[in-house]
Amino acid sequence: MTLELTEAKARLSKLLTDFINDDLLAGQDETVTDDTELLMDGIIDSLGVMRLVAFVESACGLTVPPEDVTIDRFGSVAMLADYVQSLQPGEGAAG
């Protein structure tokens, strides 16, 4: 991974982490990091996942197909950042 891609992923991870902590978990004592298990640990419920999808689509100018909303892609901020980067032009298709 090039330095430019690493920096882009770091910015994306911060954007996602801030949204989750400030919007999805607003008023709660819980906070997430890049590696927090969002779904397996029950940090985000199904409504939260849909809000996260809408945020990703709006903030990144992407469309997330329903079949891509899986635990392998939305399981943590790090996994989601990798997925979003794979959707960016020039980065190849998500697999």
What pLDDT digit, counting tens, does each position of 59-83 carry? 999 999 999 999 999 999 999 999 9
pLDDT given for residue 3 in this prediction? 76
Instruction: Give the total residue count for the chain.
Output: 95
pLDDT given for residue 6 in this prediction? 85
pLDDT tens, position by position, 1-52: 577 778 889 999 999 999 999 999 998 998 999 999 999 999 999 999 999 9
Is residue 67 a part of any domain in this protein? Answer: yes
Is residue 25 a part of any domain in this protein? Answer: yes
Average pLDDT over every residue of 84-94: 71
Q: Domain containing 73 — which CATH number?
A: 1.10.1200.10
Is residue 8 a part of any domain in this protein? Answer: yes
Is residue 92 a part of any domain in this protein? Answer: no
pLDDT given for residue 91 in this prediction? 56
Query: How many independent structural domains does the chain possess?
Result: 1
The Cα-based distances of 82 to 9, 30, 44, 48, 54 in angstroms read 7, 23, 19, 19, 17
Per-residue DSSP letter, 75:
S
Distance CA 26, CA 19 (A): 9
Is residue 93 a part of any domain in this protein? Answer: no
Is residue 95 a part of any domain in this protein? Answer: no
